[in-house]
Amino acid sequence: MKRRDFIKLAGASTVGASVASPAIAQSMPELKWRLTSSFPKSLDTLFGGAELFAKQVSEMTDGRFQIQPFAAGEIVPGLQALDAASNGTVEMAHTSAYYYVGKDPTFAIYTSVPFGLNTRMQNSWWYQGGGDQLGNEFFKKYGVIAHAAGNTGTQMGGWFRKEIKTTADLAGLKFRIAGITGQILQKLGVVPQQLAGGDVYPALEKGTIDAAEWVGPYDDEKLGLQKVAKFYYYPGFWEAGPMLHMMTNLEKWNSLPKYYQTVLANAAAHANIWMSARYDLVNPAALKRLVATGTQLRPFSNEIMEACLKATNELWAEISAKNADFKKSIEAMQAYRNDQYLWWQVAEYTNDSFMIRSRPKS
């Protein structure tokens, strides 16, 4: 129901109208905000989440609250989106928290960490398991409040110029890898590189890097990564359910009428659901196209997976020993994950495994 329809409905009661109309008018000032994204417009699912969010806000306020999304680089570079929202350059940022692990590794936990939560678990923890309260307690230190606003689903492990069969093949590998995962792979000899989406293709094409991970088949195909590397590895165990957030300048948020705060929260939640559903729609067809044109799919070996899990646990212990925020968040997330997998192994995994084996081969 649009706001105008709600007002008309409320007007049907003369008693309700005499009380509600002034309150409604006071709750709907005319505002124009700017939103900077960490993503280029060419990635229509990632940047599209910000566009959908802005459209929803406008529609729910009859156009009185206008938010204009800007792609990465139009106001600030993609990896500076949080800073722009924090310092008031813009009112909002649509970004991935793990881009800012250089400020504090705790940021990574609220997007995705290696061997963490899948998409449904991440949403469950955020909305129902206390993740939003814990996350925003931390984000407050950086002058923003965050709302979940997108998830890609489990990502792919990336594009490699050569096959990666054992941990020895990782030594010296220059790998575009986002977030805290670079520190884990560094323990195995990888040389991590953090690059924004628009910079990945040229770096891989020029040989500045040897491998790159981005998102999954649909977005990777758009970036053209299949043209410069043919081995496509899975799974992206470091991003089982990476959550994006709308990060709003805290002072600006606190200045909003309660109704507008509710509008922003609900528009973000809608974008969150839309993005996951969209990726589930577009990834299968993209994967078929990639394989049909020569992409070689490869799973990471058990040796590599086990080595990365060991390195992950070592890093969590090292960081937790000196960072109380990280320790508090990682322990809460892991406890939630363990209970979730206790349940998933009973119903979800059993059902999905059977259906995967039984599906018609096409």
- 146-198, pLDDT tens digit by residue? 999 999 999 999 999 999 999 999 999 999 987 799 999 999 999 999 887 77
Rg (CA), the chain: 22
pLDDT of residue 200: 87
Mean pLDDT of the chain: 92
d(C-alpha 16, C-alpha 60), whole Å? 21
pLDDT at 144 over 70: yes
Q: Name the token pair of 150.
A: 């997108």
Q: For 74-201, where are the E strands, in sequence order?
A: 92-95, 144-151, 158-160, 174-176, 191-193
Give the range among 202-216, 261-275, 321-335 with minimum mean pLDDT. Answer: 202-216
Q: Please tell me the predicted confidence (pLDDT) of residue 194.
A: 80
Q: Residue 196 — φ and ψ, nearest 5°?
A: -70, 160
Question: Is beta strand 296-299 parallel, antiparallel or unpaired with respect to 144-151?
Answer: unpaired
Please say if the pLDDT value at position 353 is more than 90.
yes
Q: Could you report the per-residue pLDDT of 268-301, keeping only the tens digit for each?
A: 999 999 999 999 999 999 999 999 999 999 999 9
What is the predicted pLDDT for the residue at 8?
A: 45
Mean pLDDT of 97-122: 96
C-alpha–C-alpha distance, residues 85 and 75, integer Å: 11
| Span 342-353, average pLDDT | 95
Which residues have C-beta within 8 Å of that of residue 361, sequence separation ≥ 6?
Answer: none
**Has residue 14 got a pLDDT over 60?**
no
Domain architecture of the chain: domains with CATH? 3-151+241-281 (3.40.190.170)
Contacts of 51 (CB under 8 A, 6+ apart): 69
Residues 190/209, Cβ–Cβ less than 8 Å: no
Does the pLDDT value for residue 18 go beyond 80?
no
pLDDT digits (tens, 9 = 90+) for 213-266: 999 999 999 989 999 999 999 999 999 999 999 999 999 999 999 999 999 999
Among 152, 148, 153, 96, residue whose Cα is nearest residue 266: 148
> What pLDDT does 123 receive?
98
pLDDT tens per residue across span 87-96: 999 999 999 9
Quickly state the pLDDT bin for 81 (edges 50, 70, 90).
very high
CA atoms within 13 A on the CB side of 53: 37
Q: Decide if 259 contacts 136 (C-beta within 8 A).
A: no
pLDDT average, residue stretch 326-355: 96
The pLDDT assigned to 178 comes to 72
Tell me the DSSP string of 57-86: HHHHTTTSEEEEEE-TTTSS-GGGHHHHHH
Q: How far apart are the first and last CA of the chain?
A: 42
* pLDDT of 16: 40
List Cα–Cα distances, 339 to 121, 186, 333, in angstroms. 10, 30, 10
Q: pLDDT tens, 295-318?
A: 999 999 999 999 999 999 999 999
